């Protein structure tokens, strides 16, 4: 290959890095990966709105927003299931985290030491568990909960200050503040949920196994453990295969196995989503390592491993779906294979756009650099939109009344629906741009 066509590691590492940017990072930023992250976050934000503004009765009014950017079961929750790209959203997000973990973990071990790398992993894992608790808790404000919340605010401020003091900025124990904060947050949110409720299996199962952030926590932990234990991706991928084979078999006998488990622990069952996310995250770490098969020519890794994995998982999804149809309410083998195939396709697309076509979508870069924060930030719209408008019928009725028109599908009503989607997108982009402009990067 001619020298000017080679994608050497120095070019890749410096792409998109401006003076003073990411100076505390132990690894380089990759614009194509930020673009990938940004696109997924945009889809998740749109999905949070299409979900809230879906129609309960299609005969009266159509939903707002593209139906393919919502969970399929919001419109049709019967067999055969209708799978959309949003049904793959959390799995694709896990895939991104797996790629990032493989990149960052090895770099941190090399530059800061093993304990520094593991502290950052534990910080992320515990933070995801805390976020899962926040989702699981119903808020009210008796005095003991107010006290717990005040203590949490003080600990949060203290940890943030300590982590950014000059003497700790480059200290190898800096992530320890994050771990202590996350563990304290978990403990204080147990108080928010009331300790007797926490000790009950229902809350514990929901907060630490059932919610989507808990799946991200377990997937991150699985990926870190096997990146550490198995250095070669050709061997590490075997772990993901074993997990999914066991997953497939247990799914087929799910009622029998779950009944046996619930005889001892009521409300518990096989943690299928946790296992599936672990397999997806492990696969993603392998994808990144295969891309580095030849640092001087990353095309070799794509040709020998990444593209074949995309094709194989896509074909296997097609075959497996005849026997184990992809599900909305659980990540079975069929859905997991489709998520891996689609994630690999997105990696190929965004890598190619940058390095072959020299094309980038700047807003996606800004959003992708604070992907985890914006993933949480979009929850604001999920909470506020139902309070303001409710579903599509309520929104269309209010807008029709506002403009004095009789038709719920009047163009002015549809225009207001478009604005209702664009405003959160613009707010999110403005936040992302300002944070990137002033080099504010919030990580967990």
Among 2-11, 24-33, 235-244, the least confident range: 2-11
Do 440 and 24 touch, CB atoms closer than 8 A?
Answer: no
Tell me the mean pLDDT in the region 289-317.
94
Q: Is the pLDDT of residue 371 over 90?
A: no
Question: Which sign does the torsion angle of CA 351, 355, 357, 359 carry?
Answer: positive
Q: Is the pLDDT of residue 9 over 50?
A: no
Query: Does some domain include residue 403?
Result: yes
Query: Does some domain include residue 49?
Result: yes
Query: Does some domain include residue 304?
Result: no
Q: What is the pLDDT of residue 71?
A: 86
Q: How confident is the model at residue 202 (pLDDT cuts 50, 70, 90)?
A: low
Query: Does some domain include residue 283?
Result: no
Query: Does some domain include residue 10?
Result: yes
Query: Does some domain include residue 442?
Result: yes
Domains of the chain: total: 1
Query: Does some domain include residue 380?
Result: yes
The mean of the pLDDT values for the chain is 84
Q: When comparing pLDDT for 315 and 386, which is higher? A: 315
Q: How confident is the model at residue 329 (pLDDT cuts 50, 70, 90)?
A: confident
- Tell me the residue range of the domain where 62 lies: 1-70+361-444
Query: Does some domain include residue 261?
Result: no
pLDDT tens digits for range 101-116: 999 998 899 888 899 9
Q: Is the pLDDT of residue 4 over 50?
A: no
Tell me the mean pLDDT in the region 19-35.
63
pLDDT tens digits for range 139-194: 566 676 677 778 888 888 877 777 767 666 667 778 888 898 889 888 887 776 66
């Amino acid at each position: 290959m001619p020298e000017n066509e080679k994608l050497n590691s120095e070019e890749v590492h410096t792409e998109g890095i401006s003076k003073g940017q990411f100076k505390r990072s132990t690894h380089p930023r990759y614009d194509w990966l930020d673009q990938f992250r940004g696109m997924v976050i945009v889809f998740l934000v749109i999905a949070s709105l299409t979900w809230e503004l879906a129609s309960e009765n299609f005969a009266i009014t159509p939903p707002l927003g593209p139906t393919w950017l919502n969970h399929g079961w919001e419109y049709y929750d019967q067999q055969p299931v209708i799978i959309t790209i949003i049904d793959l959203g959390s799995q694709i997000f896990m895939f991104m985290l797996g790629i990032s973990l493989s990149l960052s973990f090895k770099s941190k071990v090399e530059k800061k030491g093993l304990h520094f790398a593991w502290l950052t992993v534990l910080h992320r894992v515990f933070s995801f568990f805390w976020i899962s608790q926040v989702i699981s808790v119903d808020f009210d404000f008796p005095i003991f909960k107010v006290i717990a919340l005040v203590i949490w605010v003080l600990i949060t401020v203290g940890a943030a200050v300590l982590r950014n003091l000059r003497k700790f900025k480059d200290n190898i124990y800096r992530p320890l503040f994050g771990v202590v904060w996350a563990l304290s947050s978990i403990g204080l949110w147990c108080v928010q949920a009331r300790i007797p409720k926490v000790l009950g299996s229902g809350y514990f199962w929901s907060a630490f196994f059932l919610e989507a952030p808990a799946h991200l926590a377990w997937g991150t932990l699985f990926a870190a453990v096997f990146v550490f234990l198995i250095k070669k991706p050709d061997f590490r991928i075997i772990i993901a295969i074993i997990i999914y084979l066991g997953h497939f078999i247990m799914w087929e006998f799910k009622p029998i196995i779950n009944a046996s488990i619930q005889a001892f622990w009521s409300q518990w069952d096989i943690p299928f989503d946790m296992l599936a996310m672990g397999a997806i995250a492990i696969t993603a770490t392998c994808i990144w390592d295969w891309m580095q098969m030849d640092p001087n020519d990353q095309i070799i890794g794509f040709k020998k491993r990444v593209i074949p994995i995309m094709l194989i998982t896509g074909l296997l999804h097609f075959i497996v779906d005849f026997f184990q149809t992809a599900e909305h309410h659980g990540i079975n083998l069929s859905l997991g294979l489709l998520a891996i195939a689609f994630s690999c396709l997105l990696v190929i697309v965004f890598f190619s756009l940058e390095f072959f076509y020299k094309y980038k979508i700047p807003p996606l870069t800004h959003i992708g650099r604070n992907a985890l924060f914006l993933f949480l930030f979009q929850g604001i719209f999920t909470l506020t939109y139902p309070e303001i408008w409710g579903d599509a019928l309520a929104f269309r009725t209010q807008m029709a009344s506002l403009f004095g028109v009789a038709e719920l599908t009047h163009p002015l009503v549809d225009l207001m629906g478009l604005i209702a989607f664009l405003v959160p997108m613009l707010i999110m982009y403005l936040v992302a741009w300002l944070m990137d402009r002033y080099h504010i990067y919030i990580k967990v």
